[in-house]
Amino acid sequence: MCVLCGELIMNVHWTDQPLHDTEYRRKTRIVAGENQRQRRRLKIKRVAVANKILAFYGLKLSDWNGSKYILSDKKGGMSVVNSLGDMWQTASKMCHRTLDPLDPKFLQSLGGES
């Protein structure tokens, strides 16, 4: 299979699956074309939340064609990631530090600590 065709095949990661949907719970698998509009809308919301976190580290996440993500830094570095699960490890490598959700400076940037 060529690289282009491989990119067009959509594997649905668990973060892209609507676990709250009763119809989903009855199925053992998700077909890529089903509920595509809803999945894209939810994915855009997840990207926005991730970007609020990643901004502290100087990173930005973008959706790439509804199937993958592009993680970029302020220096022009970019990396393609398959899922939000993969994104955290790649983000740590790109900013050369461990992303710590309990870092007091990070929490203060979110407004969660005075």
Contact 2, 9 (CB under 8 A): no
Distances (CA, A) of 44 to 52, 73, 103, 109, 113: 13, 19, 26, 22, 27
Sign of the alpha-carbon torsion through 80, 82, 84, 89: negative
The pTM score is 0.69
Does some domain include residue 8? no
Look at residue 98 and tell me if it is in a domain.
yes
Kindly report, residue by residue over 16-34, the tens digit of the pLDDT.
555 555 555 555 555 556 6
- Asked if the structure places residue 91 within a domain, the reply is yes
At 1 the pLDDT is 47
Is 67 or 13 the better-scoring residue by pLDDT?
67
Is 73 inside any structural domain?
Answer: yes
Q: With respect to residue 4, please indicate whether it lies within any of the assigned structural domains.
A: no
- For 100, the domain range is 13-110
Would residue 2 count as lying in a domain?
A: no
